[in-house]
Structures are given as C-alpha cells and as structure tokens.
C-alpha cells in the first residue's frame, strides 16, 4: 500500500505541475485538454497502466534485479508543426552483475500540433505504451550517462473538425493508432542509493494511421502521417 501511494503521488504531482506550467503557443493552456473531466481520465489511465507495469516487471525480473520507477515530463517538438509537451512514467528492472542494463515499459501522454492528412497545425493527443531498454555507460558514479531505445504503439485523438473544415469532402474519424521507435540518450544524477534525477533526449519516428473517409483502390480509407520529433524530458527515479 505504501508503494502504491508513493507511485500515485509521484505521477499525479508531476502531471499537475507540468500541465499547469507549460502554456501552448498562443500563450494560454488549452482548456479542452485540461478540463477537470479530461484531466481526471488521463490521470486514471496513467495510474492503471503504471501499476500494471510495476506488477509485470516485479513478477518477471530476476531476483538480482533492482526495480526502478521513473516519472517526468518536458517538451516535444514535432518534425512538422508546433511545440507541445509530454508526460511519462516508466518501470524498469536492472539486469546483470554490473547492473548496466535496464529493461522495462513506459506510458506517456503527448500533445502537440502537426500536419495530418495534408492539413497543417492539427491538434493531436497521443497515449503511448512502449518497451524500453537502457545501457548505462557508467554505474555507481557521480553522473551515470546511458544510451537506449524505445519501441511502442499509441492511440491518438485528433482534431477531425479542423481537417473537415479545410477538406470538406472528407468524413474524418477523431481517433487513430500508430507505431513508433526512437533512439535516446540521457544522464542520471544519483542522490544517494534510493533517488536519482535524470535528463533525457530522444529522437523518434512515429507513424499515425487515421481514417480520412476516402477509400482507395484496395478499399482502405486509412491515411498515414509522420508525427515523430524530438523530445526532451527531465524527472526523478526511485530505486528499490
């Protein structure tokens, strides 16, 4: 129960602080994304998936592994579009005698504007679940740099009304799905044996498939768009 309260507190506190502190490009917080009902749904989903990650890693990690919980957030800059932000939480287990390898899963919420179905600056929200691998170049030092990779899938919500206004012939669905992969590099700053601060930069290639309401020669109405970009996040890790 103590672990669950700690996890819930970390995720809720981090999400609230970042969501309230990061304005959009027009200088104000997007009301539709931060209404009490919407924010409550996002937080509940984050808690369920994060606790599921804790259970999976705890049951599958070898006895010598250390459990590592992470929560953070920062800026997401898509290849095409306007800068948004990302909030993430991860559960990993360290492997091997040297404790150099970390494997686990991550849940992230991301929002920004990008080009979708040949329309510029379309709002999207992404709920992404990924497999993570880190290789720590230094262990037990004042700073611990690492390299890694991420592979995952995502559920998207897009502003279909804007697309339909600019492309009146289309009947666009407001949801879509996607796959993505990214390379990452980061640094951990240990604060004793239990806690660490971290900063991380990742470069990703993500693809969104959405329904544009127009069937092609093969009977498919799916449109694909690149929605990847560069992400910079910072946060805290808790080691057990």
Q: What is the domain partition of the chain in residue ranges?
A: 2-239
**Segment 137-184, tens digit of pLDDT:** 999 899 999 999 999 999 999 998 888 888 777 777 788 899 999 999
| Contacts for 87 with CB less than 8 Å, ≥ 6 apart | 14, 15, 18, 19, 46, 72, 73, 108, 109, 110
Determine the pLDDT at residue 25: 44
Determine the pLDDT at residue 168: 74
Determine the pLDDT at residue 100: 92
All residue ranges of the chain with pLDDT < 50 are 1-8, 10-12, 14-15, 17-39, 57, 60-63, 215-220
Q: How many CA atoms lie within 13 A of 92 on its CB side?
A: 25
Determine the pLDDT at residue 9: 52
Determine the pLDDT at residue 166: 85
Asked if CATH classification 3.10.180.10 holds for the domain at 2-239, the reply, yes or no, is no
């Amino acid at each position: 129960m103590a672990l669950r309260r700690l996890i819930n507190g970390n995720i809720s506190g981090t999400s609230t602080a970042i969501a309230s502190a990061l304005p959009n490009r027009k200088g104000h917080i997007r009301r539709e994304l931060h209404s009490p009902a919407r924010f409550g749904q996002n937080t509940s989903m984050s808690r369920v998936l994060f606790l599921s990650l804790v259970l999976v890693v705890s049951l599958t990690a070898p006895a010598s592994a250390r459990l590592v919980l992470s929560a953070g957030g920062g800026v997401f800059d898509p290849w095409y579009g306007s800068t948004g932000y990302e909030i993430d939480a991860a559960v990993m287990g360290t492997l091997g005698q040297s404790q150099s390898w970390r494997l686990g899963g991550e849940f992230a919420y991301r929002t920004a504007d990008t080009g979708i179905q040949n329309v510029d600056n379309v709002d999207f929200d992404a709920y992404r679940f990924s497999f993570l691998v880190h290789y720590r170049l230094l262990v037990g030092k004042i700073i611990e740099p690492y390299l890694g990779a991420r592979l995952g899938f995502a559920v998207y919500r897009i502003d279909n009304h804007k697309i339909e206004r600019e492309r009146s012939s289309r009947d666009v669905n407001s949801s879509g799905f996607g796959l993505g992969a990214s390379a990452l590099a980061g640094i951990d700053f240990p604060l004793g044996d239990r806690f660490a601060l971290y900063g991380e930069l990742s470069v990703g290639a993500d693809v969104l498939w959405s329904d544009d309401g127009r069937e092609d020669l093969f009977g498919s109405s799916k449109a694909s768009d690149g929605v990847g970009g560069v992400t910079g996040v910072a946060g805290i890790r808790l080691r057990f």
